[in-house]
Chains A and B, each alone.
Chain A
Amino acid sequence: MDGHKISIDTTVDAVGLFCPIPVVRLKKELDKVQPKGVVELLSDDPGVLEDLPAWCSETGNKLLSLQKNEEGVFIAYVMKERI
């Protein structure tokens, strides 16, 4: 996010869990936060690279960023847009 710090409401640690559980857990947490709230998702399932943009596009939520860290874990920030 261009060096700007993202304010996170909650984190979903889905490391070690297979598709589609990372997305399922993300949805559950996003349902709980207020509009414009942000959920951080940690996952080592490479499926999230395409699944997350597809899920956000289909459900109307916003993928703020999706990056892989040094340990091979994907870190994504998703903002709740659909109320």
Chain B
Amino acid sequence: MENRGLGLILHSGSYDRLYHGFSICLAALSLGREVKILFTYWALNYLKRDKPRSFYEEDLGQEQKEVLEKNINKGHFVEFRELVQQIKALGGKIYVCTHSMGLLNIARNELIDEVDKSVGLTTWLTETKEYQFVFI
């Protein structure tokens, strides 16, 4: 079987979902697969140049927060911006959804430079026609 690409749509603003989505992408890139990530809705807030959303703002219970913070300090967790750089270094592409940007009133220049392009769904579906899909 050919090495299919992976199309990941990141929709949720929950850090755990985003983080795990990125882990799936890193594993796929390590297998030599192409990866294209489309940020929609609440996930877009993590790509903001100024005051990006971070997991610390998450509505986590105190116990969950303590576990996560402890493991971050031990070096188990990687910060979001570092993850983005790892994805890019391995050849992954980061797209943003123009529809969501319009709804949330986010302009392209408010987003970090690692974003490859803003696209509509037709472009996205055309470019990922043969891909395996994951929606998070």
Contacts and interface: CB of A to CB of B under 8 A. Distances in A.
Interface of A: 16-21, 23-24, 26-28, 55, 58-59
A16 to B, nearest CB: 6
A4 B62 CA distance: 52
Classify the interface of chain A: helix, strand, loop or mixed: helix
Interface residues on B, range: 10 to 19
Contact of A59 (B23, B31, B86, B90): B31
28 contacts: A16-B74, A16-B76, A17-B75, A17-B76, A18-B76, A19-B23, A20-B23, A20-B26, A20-B27, A20-B30, A21-B26, A21-B78, A23-B27, A24-B26, A24-B27, A24-B29, A24-B30, A24-B90, A26-B30, A27-B30, A27-B90, A28-B90, A55-B30, A55-B31, A58-B31, A58-B32, A59-B31, A59-B32
Contacts of A20: 23, 26-27, 30
A72 to B, nearest CB: 16
A20 B75 CA distance: 14
Contact of B30 (A16, A17, A18, A23): A23
